């Protein structure tokens, strides 16, 4: 059976969400962060980087959320309910862009903002950069969601899992208030039964 190595208070909960959306059978190993907020050394037994999420499937080990998502789609989504368009190369490329977005352009400024929230005084160079970049990324998502229920239109798909991760980070950091489309999007996605099951399985 497929195994997920789940680090509590981290992005691997979003892989659990995808597994629940897919109705896949899986098991989990749980890990707790240390006092510095880092993953414990035991996680390096699953993958040399000691990061999460990591999956194991019949001896095959895979890291990185985007790669894991594509693998899970190939394995469990035979009807392509959550995957990319297949009849339009440009639409597929756009879908891939949004899949990668949450861990590329969007994530770094959110991480810097998160780290700065634990720092006082805040280094002005980093604080100014993070403020501008966070506003840029959240404004980009806000505009994308204008007139759309989901990132790609009226159908929930895998890029919405990553975008929800960014929206949730924005909420935790107190940055989501100026973005009503993003607020509604986050609430809508967190009401999904699969998300609720993921929360139950991880202690939410």
Domains of the chain in sequence order? 2-81 (3.40.30.10), 89-193 (1.20.1050.10)
pLDDT at 37 over 80: no
Under 8 Å between Cβ of 76 and 55: no
- Provide the CA 80 distance to its chain's centre, in angstroms: 20
What is the mean pLDDT of the segment spanning 91-117?
Answer: 95
pLDDT at 26 over 70: yes
Other C-beta atoms closer than 10 Å to the C-beta of 184 total 12
Half-sphere exposure of 150 (CA within 13 A, CB side): 18
pLDDT attached to residue 8:
85
Under 8 Å between Cβ of 73 and 79: no
For residue 50, is it left (φ>0), alpha (ψ between -120 and 50) or beta?
left
Work out whether strand 2-7 and strand 54-57 pair parallel, antiparallel, or are unpaired: antiparallel
pLDDT attached to residue 23:
97
**What's the whole-number average pLDDT of the chain?**
94
**Cα separation of 19 and 22, whole Å?**
5
Using pLDDT thresholds of 50, 70 and 90, give the confidence band for residue 204.
low
What is the mean pLDDT of the segment spanning 111-125?
Answer: 90
Residue for token pair 């995808």: 18
pLDDT at 35 over 90: no
Lowest mean pLDDT among 109-118, 135-144, 186-195: 109-118
pLDDT attached to residue 11:
87
**Cα separation of 84 and 41, whole Å?**
36
Q: Which two tokens stand for residue 173?
A: 């950091």
Rg (CA), the chain: 17
What is the mean pLDDT of the segment spanning 168-177?
Answer: 96
pLDDT attached to residue 154:
95
pLDDT attached to residue 16:
97
Q: What is the pTM of this model?
A: 0.94
**Cα separation of 155 and 182, whole Å?**
16
Q: What percent of the chain has pLDDT over 70?
A: 100
pLDDT at 85 over 90: yes
Q: Where are the alpha helices (DSSP H) in 44-120?
A: 65-76, 89-101, 107-116
Half-sphere exposure of 195 (CA within 13 A, CB side): 15
Query: Angle between the 158-172 and 180-190 helix axes, to the nearest 10 degrees?
Result: 120
Under 8 Å between Cβ of 30 and 6: yes
pLDDT at 69 over 80: yes
């Amino acid at each position: 059976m497929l195994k997920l190595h789940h680090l509590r208070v981290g992005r691997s909960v979003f892989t659990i969400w995808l597994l629940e959306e897919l109705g896949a059978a899986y098991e989990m190993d749980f890990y707790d962060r240390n006092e510095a907020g880092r993953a414990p050394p035991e996680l390096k037994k699953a993958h040399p980087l000691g990061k999460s999420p990591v999956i194991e499937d019949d001896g095959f080990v895979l890291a990185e959320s985007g790669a894991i998502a594509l693998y899970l789609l190939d394995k469990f989504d035979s009807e392509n309910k959550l995957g990319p368009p297949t009849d339009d190369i440009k639409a597929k490329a756009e879908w891939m862009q949004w899949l990668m977005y949450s861990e590329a352009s969007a994530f770094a400024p959110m991480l810097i903002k998160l780290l700065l929230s634990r720092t006082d005084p805040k280094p002005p160079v980093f604080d100014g950069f993070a403020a501008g970049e966070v506003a840029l990324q959240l404004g980009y998502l806000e505009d994308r969601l204008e007139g759309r229920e989901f990132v790609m239109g009226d159908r929930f798909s895998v890029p919405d899992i990553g975008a929800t991760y960014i929206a949730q980070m924005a909420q935790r950091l107190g940055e989501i208030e100026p973005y009503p489309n993003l607020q509604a999007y986050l609430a809508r996605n967190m009401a999904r039964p699969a998300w609720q099951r993921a929360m139950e399985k991880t202690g939410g």
